[in-house]
Structure 1
């Protein structure tokens, strides 16, 4: 059994590495090449990268493709660039724009993993005769009693499990994450040891097709005429001001509301909900953000086959499965009960109310370090 859990010698095992041009995927390729694997590097061109070549910190741009090719040459592996612009535009960018227009706050990087990298690229890897697709994500793949499991990375500061909840069981059998047991400083040290020029390259920060951070401008370009002005309304019904489009706002937002304070009132105001049909942004004090119930759609389950109860003998199925959930990537997990309500839907009962739960974000379910699955937040209730 080799280090990837396959019953072959490394030199007899072909592995495709998704190379973004950053230090993480570059070290992944270098590690596997050093172990003797038959490594093939593939970089995806996902959009007109010429528009972002001059922007540092945006992945999949022209400089990144160049960097990936330089690394491949350095470690002596073949490298290919695949044009996935059409697929990316349809499956990620269009979804991003439509989600914002529905008053949601989307996560395009999850959609990219779900619909492009772990679907189309994975199929391409199989066509090339690979027995695994390796990426530079900080997450661990462990083998349990029912097969491959997804777990948090060892380094909590770099853990990317939240963004990989939509990975299916079938995909997880084929995927490998060699960096899941490393810290970022350890990864950079490996890059230096291998002589990779990307060793000190900064991590990407922006959404690749929004290199200047102006989401609303991208939505307006993708959906001309759809970003319309409307009213900013207090939760008690008072009209406080005007906005230039609901796409400029997200639930839980406090800064940049454009209405200033309310005379005679000291409480800060937050976006409580968005009503895109009425082109309305509803604001209120922080207490009005508290939510105890989250409805989830498009559930992908990676946990035990009986997800409704904790599996104890004689336990009431309606009691729910005790879990912890992350409702935004940067928020700590919250204790909850998971109730499956249909083949791809669920209701999450939060044991303590959470603030700023935004439709369109992901609800990712954990037990300890293991990712049980997750879905997209469809709605909330107090």
Structure 2
């Protein structure tokens, strides 16, 4: 085995061993066995919500365990594959081993990022809201581009999405949209996207083809679970119903099934129109409201600590710039991670930005 290959493989193996220690492989196997036993109980589905939680946890834990064990097997197999290639002088096999080494290295790095997600809600699904800000019709179009970007990213990773509500702008694009992305550690992963996203381009809505700068804000919240106990008395909310509508105001529903909920003490307003049933829309809207109230509660608890931190590190500030003209560049202003292919990023290739953001956040917390 060549010295360079051996050194690279040793580094990857060591990094994987650290990941196995952090994720506690023995405990993970034990948790999977216990959840499998619980999932096999004949009375499990007597409580559908509890059953759903058990099966979801089992699926996530099994996937983590499978990913770890398969990566360890691939690392072990690499040493044998490269030794055989060297012994036989087989250039094709040597090239195959080097390609596999690079791929395993990428996957181990991605798994290492997962171990940095240790926040209270990091394991949960993510509820994302996008709002157009300064920039008029271009900002509304930009908000819709961001919506597509995140939905394409989720699609690439086979994460189910559910769009709760879209408010269309009059000329083009959207005023706002709220959707859920389901999967392990998605709140922790996507929370680094929170902040203001800036687009610079030649406006397709300007007949003089002038350059336009547009802004949209992304908010990321954890999906609320029953254990959070966010109590919302009926007297504290006003529920309005209306007809769902699509672009151009054309009716897509002939009944008043869309729901808008106003939380009277805080003034928070949420809406949902993706279901045909008014009850289903109300239930979805209540989940979003609970998430917003939970976030508000956590922010109040952290207020004293946040006041001691440098306001310049706030995620509420502009955090990423997408330039389509006069040059092509997407740059994260916190991490300095950048890509010269905006089309790929806007088509959902976000993993590099997410990994860099998670590592940056970890360093920020260590400094604080």
- TM-score, structure 1 as length reference: 0.26
Task: Point out the structure with the larger strand share.
Answer: 1
Task: Point out the structure with the larger helix share.
Answer: 2
Greater C-alpha radius of gyration: 2
